[in-house]
Amino acid sequence: VDDVIHYCVANMPGAVPMTSAQALNNAVLPYALAIADKGWQAALSDDQNLRRGLNVCGGKITHGGVAESLKLPLFEGLELLRA
């Protein structure tokens, strides 16, 4: 495109495995600890960022993109978690 060569490296973390593993651990560990300490429902209720990863709760779709692609109703995740 526009005389530019575009290139995508599919597995860049493989070039620096220790650093990428540590970065992934640093990003995920707080969420894993919250789920372990509080249980998944309380952890998701308390943390909006963690709740953004919720797609389905109690058989109801809580993610807009999933609901739209399947043409199914969308439900509010926080309401389902607190029910």
74 in any annotated domain: yes
Report the alpha-carbon distance of residue 62 to residue 55 in Å, rounded: 5
Whether 21 is in a domain gets the answer: yes
Average pLDDT over residues 39-56: 96
**Whether the Cβ atoms of residue 58 and residue 82 lie closer than 8 Å to each other:** no
How many residues are recorded in the chain? 83
Find the domain containing 67 and state its range.
16-82
Q: What is the largest CA-CA distance in the chain?
A: 56
Q: Name the burial class of residue 12, with classes exposed (0-12), middle (13-18) and buried (19+) by CB atoms within 10 angstroms of its CB.
A: exposed
In the prediction, which pLDDT does 1 show?
64
Write down the pTM of the prediction. Answer: 0.73
**Does residue 10 fall inside a structural domain?**
no
The answer to whether residue 66 sits within a structural domain is: yes
Q: Which pLDDT value is given to residue 26?
A: 96
Query: Structurally, how many domains does the chain consist of?
Result: 1
Note whether residue 22 is domain-resident: yes
Is 56 within the bounds of a domain? yes
Within a domain: 3: no
Please report whether residue 64 resides in a domain.
yes
Give residue-wise pLDDT tens across range 18-38: 998 999 999 999 999 999 999
